Amino acid sequence: MRLDKYLCEAGLGTRSQVKKLLKSGVVTVNGQTVLRPEEKLKETDRVAVSGRELSVARLEYWMLYKPAGCVSATEDARFQTVTELLPAEARRDLFPVGRLDRDTEGLLLLTNDGKLAHFLLSPKRHVDKVYYARVRGRVTKEHVKLFAEGLDIGDEKKTLPAVLEILQEEETARVLWERREEKDTGSAGEPEETGESQVRITIREGRFHQIKRMFEAVGCEVAYLRRLSMGSLTLDEGLTPGGCRRLTEQEVEALKEETGC
């Protein structure tokens, strides 16, 4: 790889900015000052800028606890993006693997490994994605059966079979219909009870608003949604919304092994 391209990918600026950096004489390769942008690098070369050695790793993998309110994109004119939550030392060519809705929280993988991203998102690989949700309405065993059979959510095909687990049911509110003065009867409506269910859902695809649409198809509404895992990668319990960390070598190898990447 050319030295100027390497410096650009390391996040040190545009090609023209990198050329100015090289002319200033602060870039060294294996301890020797290099001024030529076309200098070719080997994998074993050690590149430093002003004495600070750059990472030789071209591929990076970051786990982010995506908070609600930001978008799964590298740039957006209206909302904060997930890449803006990464620390300064992270590479500038990282991108989110898949998308979480703006109001959805949880695990998001960011990387510049296009091959792994493709394998993780490919419908043929059937990588499990596990979510926790709070759902308005009582989720029953009948719903569990319907999720397992696949649901019509308005697309050309039904969803693939999904695993729905009921974690807890709570009566969170007793909603009384608003009394209305009706000139003809003067009567009021009857009380209506609503509840909230806590569930875990495992899907193997990633359609637009899929989980929300699946619950809408069975007469429920998602009030809160958080992704817990994607394949072997599980959200670090030590992270808080907006927090991130690099993946360990073991986590990266596990993802590659399960996808055949």
Q: Which residues are designated catalytic?
A: 101
Please say whether the beta carbons of 95 and 120 come within 8 A: no
Tell me whether strands 192-203 and 129-136 are parallel, antiparallel or unpaired. antiparallel
In the structure encoding, which two tokens stand for residue 254, read together? Answer: 């596990």
Please say whether the beta carbons of 204 and 130 come within 8 A: no
Cα–Cα distance measured from residue 114 to residue 128, given in angstroms and rounded to the nearest whole number: 19
Q: What is the DSSP string of 97-121?
A: SS---TT-EEEEEEES-HHHHHHHH
Cα–Cα distance measured from residue 89 to residue 13, given in angstroms and rounded to the nearest whole number: 13
Closest CA to 131 of 215, 196, 70: 215
Closest CA to 223 of 64, 71, 103, 99: 103
DSSP for residue 78: S
